Amino acid sequence: MIQPSPTAAVLLIGDELLSGRTRDINLQQIAKYLAPLGIQVHESRTVSDFQESIVKAVNELRAAYTYVFTTGGIGPTHDDITADAIAAAFGVGIDEHPEVIAMLAERYAEMKTEFTPARRRMARIPHGAQLVSNPVSGAPGFQMENVFTLAGVPQVARAMLEDIGPRLRTGAVVHKVTIRGLGLREGDIAEPLGALAQEIPEVAFGSYPWFRSVGDNGVHLVASTIREDLISEVTQRLEAIIAATGVKPERIVEDAK
């Protein structure tokens, strides 16, 4: 029996995200990292620095998806409560991890910086968790079963993914093609695009308009499928749909980074 492809959810934690003070890019970079592994992100949530909200979201998401990635709330300040929330979600205790204490003590000594009680908070790891290395700033993330807890700083979160990747079960890779039409309107292609989606159910089609100015607007048509053999045909069909409106189709090469 073929095992279904693994799925993922991303839980973004932090009052600064909900207030608008900080713009999140972690969802995008986690999804981009997982896509070539055949792991699709199916849901994203953003919650405040409130333990009950974090616990509720973690427990719901870890039951629904193969993997959950949390970002934020594992720093040295009073509102960094994610580690405590993860421990509560799994019903385990939390203490300073001796390996992390030793590593951080050495790191701060090298920087000639005091290893304060606040900084020691970053060594508090839920019981039974596996560490996730942080080659950027030292303080690690951790894994509890299918939940991976990452830092909120995008550069650090991205570096942590490299340690997580080999632990993940991979699935069928989704192949995509994007064709855009400058000046195209969704109403012009809605009917033929809908007919194409019914004709080829193995492919997911999406229509995404943009409008930057009067002269810079149009529609991106995106096709996604695990059937790589269908990509060539689908590309030609989408180009034909756009061309039939009198607009020149342009294929967009996605940034894989």
**Residue 195 pLDDT level (bands cut at 50, 70, 90):** very high
Q: Which residue has the tokens 């390996």?
A: 99
CATH class of residue range 175-252: alpha beta
171, pLDDT greater than 80: yes
**Residue 256 pLDDT level (bands cut at 50, 70, 90):** very low
Instruction: Report the C-alpha gap between 204 and 198 in whole angstroms.
Output: 10
1, pLDDT greater than 60: no
* CA-based torsion, 146, 149, 152, 157: positive or negative: negative
Domain boundaries of the chain, sorted by first residue: 7-167, 175-252
250, pLDDT greater than 90: yes
Strand 67-71 relative to strand 147-150, pairing:
parallel
CATH superfamily of 7-167: MoaB/Mog-like domain (3.40.980.10)
Average the pLDDT over 53-72 and give the result: 98
* pLDDT score, position 126: 98
The string of pLDDT tens digits covering residues 3-14 is 688 999 999 999
**Residue 198 pLDDT level (bands cut at 50, 70, 90):** very high
* pLDDT score, position 181: 97
DSSP 97-154: -HHHHHHHHHHHHHTT----HHHHGGGEEETTPEEE--TTTS--EEEETTEEEE-SSH
**Residue 253 pLDDT level (bands cut at 50, 70, 90):** confident
**Residue 257 pLDDT level (bands cut at 50, 70, 90):** very low
Average the pLDDT over 178-194 and give the result: 96
Average the pLDDT over 91-113 and give the result: 96
| Percentage of the chain modeled with pLDDT above 90 | 93
Tell me the two tokens of residue 84. Answer: 């405590």
